[in-house]
Amino acid sequence: MKLRDLIMACIGVLLCVVVFFAINAIRNRTAGFFPDNLKLVELNDEISKQRLNAIVLAANRVGPAVVSITVTQTRVVSISPFNDEFFRDFFRDFFPEQKYQQEVKSLGSGVLISSDGYVLTNEHVVANATKIRVTMPSGQQYDARIIAGDRTNDLSLLKIEAGDLPYAELGESDDLMIGEWVIALGNPFGFMLEDTRPSVTVGVVSALGRSIKSTYEERVYKNMIQTDAAINPGNSGGPLINIVGRIVGINTFIFTSGGGSEGIGFARPVAVVKKFIEEAKKYGMVRTPWIGLYVQNIDDNLATAMPIKDNRGLLISTVEANSPADQAGIHEGDRIIAVNRTGVSTMHDWQRMIADVFVGDTLDIAILRTDDSLDVAIQVKEYRDEEAGSAYQGIHVENITADLARRFGLGYPSGIVVVRVDKGTLGEKLGLMPGDVILKVGGRRINKREDFKEAMKTMPATYFIVDRGGLIVQVYVGA
């Protein structure tokens, strides 16, 4: 072998070694870089998926349908030179009270439930309103009118004249589970003045079937959803939704000692909301349900006097003639032990069971009659006062009873209350509502229905003074 060939062979071997090590070095660097990079990319994708969870999707789905509601109210304010009630009454003829009207504004929330402009909110949000303005998340505004309001369930249905609007779907509340996620939407503290988009808070269903008295109004709420999703002032009327974006309740009020959310909020279940919407659209009001029976607790003394072997259930003390209960064959002295397959043993149980009853509902009642047990179905009907002359100018009134006081949340032990106002009558034009306590008509103090009948003979040149949920309202009829 020549020297030149030997040198070339050595150079070739050396080049092969260099190329071999170079390739290995490049392969190691590539193997070290790309897996880490791929892991980083996969991690970012996973984070993005985690961010875009069911709660985010549900909030974005319903958010465009949540509206802000601005309400203008006119209040009658009285000014007297005397603070003491005795001197005010004594010198009334010499120093009459000066009255003037004052406009105030309040804010609340609502939710669109159809593309043609039906808006659901709380009754207390729009009560006594002279003007209602609905603001969309986009900032677009519409005037709204009240289709119907229900003070007992604290619900109101509004209508704006627009079409092709975003809306939220109604879900189910009967299958809600304690501990499941819920989302509250609304405009707390009137932040709509700065931003018309709704805020979102998240929590769980804390309890079901809660009954509680409102801390800011003389209202008693029954069968409410309790949640720790923050419901602040201004959120009232907004939707409570599940994680698939369907309405399960309407945010109504909070239990608070300091004015803000303390993790105890309450919403009206959508099962009741659906019945209310049907009544409101069909009748323009919520008809007064009539069952026609009265019950009482069974204590030891009553059990001994009857006699009753055990204290189970509730004793039926009165059955109204020709009432749904009477027509179903229920008798005085029967005992109710279950309603709709749920046991009842106290007055509280009974009131909770009938709190959400609407006209047309059926109550399946299990009763005990002596030693027999019976199942009876009561078809709830509309309450109608058959006594002639009970309605005046379309205003149906009743003497206040304990039952009516509970139904409308009244603080009056006596007097008269409006139970129904017929559409297209003077009563509707005056804006009178079920639950209004009529205090005076044309300067005459009204203590019972007969007083109202006599006072109405002075129509039409007169005025009304009514108490509406603690607010004194003066309504002029005109000459």
Which active-site residues does the annotation give? 124, 154, 236
Query: Is 458:477 a contact under the CB 8 Å cutoff?
Result: no
Beta strands 246-254; 169-170: pairing state: parallel
Q: Is 387 in contact with 357 (CB distance < 8 Å)? A: no
- 381: which 2 tokens? 């009907």
Say which residues have a Cβ less than 8 Å from residue 471's Cβ, sequence separation at least 6: 75, 127, 128
Strand partners, 132: 71, 144
Q: What angle do CA 135, 140, 145 make, to 5 degrees?
A: 50
Provide the CB-side half-sphere exposure for 352 (13 A, CA).
Answer: 17
Tokens representing residue 354 in the block? 């009938």
Give the integer Cα–Cα distance in Å for 310 and 375: 19
Alpha helices in 114-176 (DSSP H): 123-126
104 vs 358: CA distance, rounded Å = 34
Task: Report which residue type is found at 354.
Answer: I
Alpha carbons 377 and 356: distance in angstroms, whole number: 17
